[in-house]
Structure formats: C-alpha cells, structure tokens
Structure 1
C-alpha cells in the first residue's frame, strides 16, 4: 500500500516526531513544573529539527533561540520566583474521560484530513536558494512598517513590565 524509501531524512523525521510526542506526553504527565518546562523545551527543539527538515533554517534557528532558549528559561525563572502551595487538584474522572474523547476525536479528524488530502509532488516545490535572504529582503522592503511597529510595541511592553515589577517591589 505504501511505497516508502528509508532515507536519513525519513529516519530524522521519526526521531524528531518521537522527541516531540515524548516531550508533549511528559509535559502533561509530570508533577513538577520545572520538569514540565524541560519537557516543553524538548518539544521546541524537536520542532526546530522539523523546520530544518523542511529547509527552513532561519525559522529553525529562531525556534531554538527564542522558544527553546529564552521562553523556557523565562518560564523557569518565573516558576522559581513565585510561591507554590503543596496542594494538588482533585482527580476528576469525568474530566479525564472528556479529555480522552476530545483527544481521540482530534486524532481522528487529523487522520481523516491527512488521508484525504492530495499532497503535491515534493520535486515540484523546490525551496529557494537562500530562504533566509528572501525573508530578510521581504521583511525590510515590503513589511518594514509592521516590523518597526512591532519593535515599538515590544519596547513599550518591556517598559510596562518593569514599571509593574517596580510598583510591586515598593
């Protein structure tokens, strides 16, 4: 039914998929929040590897740098600097059953969508010579105003966060 050539790219895809799925399962099943963040970082690293397989090196670099690095470290610092009570939420079997039904339904929907989709031939969609250069040219020519507005927005959010933290310290 399936005619698949076992290549290095094929093996790497399943290795990254296993890392991502394993990290996601550990993320929702571990008890300690720090361990959950480390599992989430594994998912981010696996996603970065998937981007490399898709010839999107710039997106992979940004994924690893920002999400696997900065966001994970920020979450760990946030967890370490806040107070936590030792109480855990009670187990609710009805909620767990509903979540299981929802997850299986989502899996079925994805499986149906993937099986019924006609994917284009991989040879027909050749990647650009240098996709990082193409992203940079597009970003600094066609999207310069939104890029600059985003930098102003992030600066204002950073200053606001500092002002709120300073107010709480006083």
Structure 2
C-alpha cells in the first residue's frame, strides 16, 4: 500500500495533480466555511484556478484557458460587482456550534478513507490515450457540427437570464 503511494509521488505530474487537487478541495471547503462574502469569493476563485491547473495536467489547454478567462475572471468580477452594488444591513453571526467542526472533520476523514481504500484496491486497465494534434480545433469541430443545437440553446438561455436579471434589478430600484 505504501509502495503505491511512493510510486504515485515519484512523478512530478502526479505531485502537481495532488497539489492542485488539494487546492481545489481546500478552496471549496473555505468557500463553504467562511462567513464574509468577499472571502468566500476569493476561495471560490482559488478553486477555479486550481481546476484550470488540473485541466492543464490533463492536456486540455483550451478548457483551462476558458476556465481562467470566464470563471476565474469574469464570474468572480461579476460577483464582486454584485456584492458591491447591493445593500447589506449587517451580517448575521451564526450561533456557535462546538460539535459542528468536529463532526465535519470526522465525516471528511471518513470519506477520504473510503475513497483512498477504493482507489488502492481497484484494478484499473491501462490503455494508451492518443490526444488529437490540436485540441482546440477538435473542440470547435464538435461544437459546430454535432453539438450546434445545444450550443445555440445555451446562448438563448443565457440571453434570457441576462434580460431577466436586468428586469429584476429595475424593479428593485423602484
């Protein structure tokens, strides 16, 4: 069992995966456990950036670039502007729950133990993955040939959501 861990950590790619995975999990945990909204947003941005790092390790550079550009950049800035433009009466402090953190840690450690055991005992078949020469071109071909209708439906859905947000914002001003 320890030999498997040693073999896993012998590669720099696996160490980078481990670091990015821990950063993603840590950012998600911080996002859920922090109380100030801006701090939660910074933790969410850390999760987005670490997910982009995982995409780079998986040789999906286009998806990593889109992850950084859209989620880490645009969505985070949009959330910050939303926080800054809304009125906050005061943040409510939750009552102290002494057993909450202990139970949370026990549950997370148990889940980690179960996942670790399953991964260590699983027999995975090895195969050779042959990545295409240009990932971006292949994504574009699939997006505009086989998946063109869902792509257009998503653009219509996002436009309707944007118009709805503007209407709701106008109503709140009145």
TM over 0.5, shorter chain: yes
Map of 1:58 onto structure 2: 62
Q: TM-score, normalised by structure 1?
A: 0.84
Distance 1:154 1:21 in 2: 28
2:85 is the counterpart of 1:100:
no
* Correspondence 1:65-76 to 2 at 5 A: 65-76=69-80
* Cα separation, partners in 2 of 1:150 and 1:25, compared to 1, 3 Å: closer
Q: How many residues are treated as equivalent by the alignment? A: 169
Q: Structure 1's 120 and 58: CA in aligned 2 closer, same or farther, altered over 3 A?
A: farther
Moved segments of 4+, more than 6 Å: none
For the 8 Å contact 2:13–2:57, the answer to whether it is kept is yes
Q: Quick check: 1:90 aligned with 2:102?
A: no
Q: CA RMSD, aligned part only?
A: 2.3
Instruction: Output one character per residue of 1:38-79: Cα deviation in whole Å (capped at 9) or x when no partner.
Output: 122112111101100100112111211121112211222222
Q: Which runs of 5+ in 1 are unaligned?
A: none
Partner of 1:153: 157
Equivalent in the alignment of 1:167: 171
State the TM-score, normalizing by the size of structure 2: 0.82
Number of the residue aligned with 1:116: 121
